Structure formats: structure tokens, C-alpha cells
Amino acid sequence: MRRDVFQAIADPTRRAIIALIAMQAMTPNALAEHFDTSRQAVSKHLRILTECQLVKQEQTGREIYYHFNPGQMKAVADFIEPFRQMWETKFDQLDKVLSTIKKKKR
């Protein structure tokens, strides 16, 4: 099953895994220490993140390290951008209204 980035980041555990791996490459065992779930559950999350290419595997000896692939987040950034622009415009308008109200009170 081909998954997309949005399915991967929909889960809070996977978002937490991404945040940890973004700081440094980690093994599944090292990741599992940060959660109240089994190593198998973490491995399932890693499989989903790997399928949508948010993380990449690197084998070093007997250990597999997972690295964050930030380029895959472009789809999320592209989706969010129009909403970010819209909210920035609305906040700017609100700032103007609040400034006008403050000036009138003086």
C-alpha cells in the first residue's frame, strides 16, 4: 500500500518520531525508549514513515539507523502555504483594527 505524507503525519506518535529523528539519527530501540509502547509498535510506525519516504534507513554494522528526509515535507508545506498567507492577512487586519481602537480610546 502506497502511503502519503499526510497519512504519516496524522498520527501523533509518528510526528513525535519525526521530531526525534530530525534531531539525530536513531535506532528503533533508541526510539522505543521515548514511548510507552513496544519496540514492535515503533517499528510499525517506522515502516509507515519509510513507505512515504519521510525517513530513510542506513545500516551500520548490525544496527539500522533512521534519518529524517525533510524534502518529503514539501508536500505539507505547499498545502499549508495558502492557509498561512490567509491567516497572516487576517492577523494583519486584526492588528489594524486593534490599533484604531487604541487610538480612539486615547
Residue with cell 519496540: 39
C-beta of residue 25 within 8 angstroms of C-beta of residue 55: no
The closest of 87, 100, 106, 5 to 50, measured between CA atoms, is: 5
Handedness of CA 35, 48, 20, 80 (dihedral sign): negative
- Quick one: pLDDT at residue 14? 96
Spans of the chain below 70 pLDDT: 1-2
Strand, helix or coil at 58?
strand
- Quick one: pLDDT at residue 1? 58
Helices and strands, counts by H and E, the chain: 5, 2
**How do the domains of the chain map onto residue ranges?**
5-105
pTM score, whole prediction: 0.78
- Cell digits of residue 2: 502506497
CATH number (1.20.1250.20, 1.10.10.10, 1.10.579.10, 3.30.450.40) of 5-105 reads 1.10.10.10
